[in-house]
A and B are shown apart, each in its own frame.
Chain A
Amino acid sequence: MVYLKIKRQDESREWYDTFDIEQTPGMTVLEALFYVQEHMDGSLCFRYACRGAVCGSCGMLINRVPRLACRTQVGIAKKENTREGSGDIFVAGQKSESGEENEEILIEPLPNLKVIRDLIVDMDSFYNLVDSIKPWISSPEEHPEGGNLMDPDMRGKIEKYTNCILCACCHGSCPVAARDDTYLSPATLAKAWRMHLDPREDDASRQERLDFVDSESGVWGCDLVYKCVAVCPKKVPPTLGIKALREQIEKKKEN
C-alpha cells in the first residue's frame, strides 16, 4: 500500500487529495499517477510522454524535491520524509528517521511556474526564457565537404550541456527564479554556454548571445548555490556554465 497525497488546483481552488493505492514491484510515481487517473479519479492531470526519463515532460515536486516522476520509484519515495508543510525546496530526498517505510508520498507541481491545473504548470513561460537566447547554431547554408570536423575532447565538453531535456526541474529548484520571474533560468544559461562552446557557431551570434546574458536577469543574477546542478536528472551542471559565461564576459571586457 502507498498513499499519494497530491496537490490539486483549478482556476478557483487549491486542495490536497489522498489516494490509497496498491503498490506493484518496480512501480514508478508516474505509473502510480496513471493508476489514480485510470481507476480512481479521471480528472487528475499531469504531463508525460516517454516514461523513460528522456523527454522532460514529467518534472514535478516529489517530497518537495523537483524530479522526474517516471524515474522516481514509489518504493524509494515512500521511505522518505514527505516534508509536508515545509516551504522549502530540497535537492534530495531525506530518509525517514526510522528508515522505515513512511507509506506516504507528497506530490505537488513544479514551483516557480504558474499552475494551470493539478500538476500541470505553464511551461510556455519557461520555454520563452529559453528561446530568448536564440538557442540555435547559426551555421552557414553550405556545409564543408564531408562535414565539419570536431575534436572529440571538445565534443565531450559540449555533450554535458546538450544532455538537457528542458524538464525545468532546475528552474523549480532555483531561488533566483523564485524571486525574479525575469531571471533567464539555469537551463537557459546552460544552453547559452552549450551554444557558445560550439565551434560551428558563428562569432557574431556568439557575441550577441554573450551580450544578452550579460545582465542581472542573466549570468549576474545567479546566487551560485548549485541547487540546479544537484537536482538535474541529466547531470547537466548549469552553475558551471554560468561561471564560464561570466569569465568569458569579463575576459572580453578586459580586452
Chain B
Amino acid sequence: MEQAMLWGVGTSAYGRFPDQRVESLAWTAVAEAVRDADIRPDAIDAIIVGSVFGPPGVATRIQRGLGISSVPMWTIENACASGTSAYHEAVEAVRLGRFKCVLVLGVDQMSTLFSGAIVPEATDPEGASSLPLPGLYALQAQRYVSEFGVTPEQLAAIAVKNKSNGMDNPRAQLRDTVPTIQEVLDSRMIADPLTFLQCCPTSDGAGAAIVGGDRGNPDDLRIEASAMVSGALWDQRSEDVWGFASVARAAQKAYAQAGRSPQEIDVLEVHDAFTIGEILTLEALGIAPRGKGAELAPSGHTTRDGVQPVNPSGGLLSRGHPLGATGMAQLAEIAWQLRGQAGARQVDRHRVGLVETMGGGAAGMDGNACVVTILSAQA
C-alpha cells in the first residue's frame, strides 16, 4: 500500500457569483492547487470531481480549459460530502498504486439555481412533504434538546464562535459583523429552534486538491486516514438523532486507520451547516461525550485559542456552503493550518488535523455519505 500525501490545495472565493461560469470558479481553485503542489498540469494522471448541482458533464467542461487530456476522469455526487468523497477516491487510488497524481475538485454554483433555501427533493417522501433541510436539522435539535437539555445560548454560541473565526477568512462569504449570542437568538426563526444566523448561506465556489504518493517533499501532508461510509437505515429503531450514526461510523474507521484517539487531533474542520450539526458531529467524532457537545464552544475548548479549535475558517456558517466544494474548502483550511500558513486564523497546536463532511437529506437514511480524513504535518 502506497502512502497517500496531500501535495497542494486551492480554492475560489466563496459567495454568490451568478455572473461567473461554473468553469471559472473551478479553474481558480485548480490553478492555485497546481501552483501549491508545484507540479505541471501534465503530471496529473486522473481527475475526480465532486458536485451536486453541476451541469451534466461538469468535469469535462472544466477539463477543456486545463489541457489535461484523455486521463481517467469522473464525477461523484454524495450530497454535501461530494467533494470529500471525490478526495477519498483519489486517496484510495493512490494508495492502491492506480494513479500517481490525482486532481480532486469540488464545485457548485447554487445562486443560479435557488433564490432562497434549497428546494427539497420532490421525489423523496420528506421532500415531497415540504421538509426543508433546516427543518430536518431542527428535528435533530428538538430531539437532542429534549434529551440533553441544551440551552438556546449554547446553540447560538456555535454561530458566534464560527462567525468570529470567519472574520479572519478573506475567502468567506459572510464577514461583515460578529453577532452576539442574543443577536443570533433574535434573528428571524427558520425552523424552531434554528434561527437565521444558525444556518449556513447557499453559496457558489470551488475547492481543489492534488493527491499523490510520497515524493519526499517535506511540505506534503501525510494522509493518515481517509474513511467514507454511505448511509444506513434511520427509522423507528434508531435511538440516535438523524445523521449521528453515519458520522460515528466514519470516525471509528478513520481513527482505526490512523491509530489515533480523538484527543490527539489538534484542529478540526467539521460540517456545521447548522449550529446543531457541529455539536452532534463533535460528539460523533468523540471530541465530547454524548450530551456534552454543547459545552465545547461556550467553555472555549473549540475556540481558535482553545484545546481543540473547530472550524477556524469560520466553517460553513461563515464561509458558505457550495455543496460539492465544501469538503474541499475544509481540506484546504486544514492543509493551511497544518503548514502554519493560515495567517490570522492560525491555531497554535497544528500537527494533526481532521476533516469531517456529512451529506444527507434522503429520507429514512442516516445520511447519504460521510467522509472523515486525518492528516498530519511531517515536520
A and B part of one assembly: no
Residues of A within 8 A of B (CB): none
Residues of B within 8 A of A (CB): none
